[in-house]
Amino acid sequence: MTSFEAALSSWFEAHGRDLPWRRTRDPYAILVSEVMLQQTQVERVVPRYLSWLERWPTAAALAAATPAEVIREWQGLGYNRRAVSLHRAAQAIAAVGWPGDLTRLPGIGPYTAAAIRNQAYREPVLPVDTNVARIQERTGHTFGPAALQALFDLGAAICIARRPRCEICPLAEACPSRGRRYEPMRKQSRFEGSFRQRRAALLRLVTDGAKPVETLDHEAAESLCKDGLVEQVDGLVCLPR
């Protein structure tokens, strides 16, 4: 273990977050956490993750749900296409088991596949997200797979994007970037008034029940149909059955 990794490990033992998906090696549970955590804050995910697994504790249980049930349960987490992909992945797993190449599952790219391999199967791979990449770039050090959870927490709390908290960072003493400040990252486009907001508003409407297509935002309805989030039947827009 390098000095960087030893310092990081000691810090993590004292300050690491107690997150429910860190207490399991069930690949399905880790898949659920990884999909939920895409572009959604940890604090919002924790209660939804727990309620999701209480309702659908296995891939087979989720596969047996209807798309409408899955989309309703997902409401509030944002980027609803993730729910559809997760449901389709569960159906594939229930039908033929976990593939050797996890990227064959719907909606699972190289990063999520590596995250499952690391956390569920303890394979020696390091999935590199924004936090991990930032820490490795700033320190000039390539960390091993065992450091994953500590890197997540360090990137979320200390080695943050613009003004890293170098004064309390366990890696600061040997870090070549100590004391640097960074330009703000490109901000995500505004949600207010955006097409994403129109899609979200329409989906909320039909979550409560089918609505006549002529009363709805046609462009948003067509977009949601293409993503498998709604369907049009007999002049009505509704959640997929």
Residues annotated as part of the active site: 34
C-alpha to C-alpha distances, 156 to 3, 167, 169, 190, 226, nearest whole angstrom: 21, 15, 12, 23, 35
Residue 89 Cα distances to 124, 129, 137, angstroms: 24, 21, 33
The CA R_g of the chain, rounded to the nearest whole Å, is 21
Going by C-alpha positions, the residue among 166, 155, 158, 161 that lies closest to residue 182 is 161
Give the phi and the psi of residue 232 in degrees, each rounded to 5.
-110, 125
Q: Which residues of 121-144 are buried (b: 16+ CB within 10 A; e: fewer)?
A: eeeebbbbbebbebbbebbebebe
Task: Confirm if 225 and 232 have CB atoms less than 8 A apart.
Answer: yes
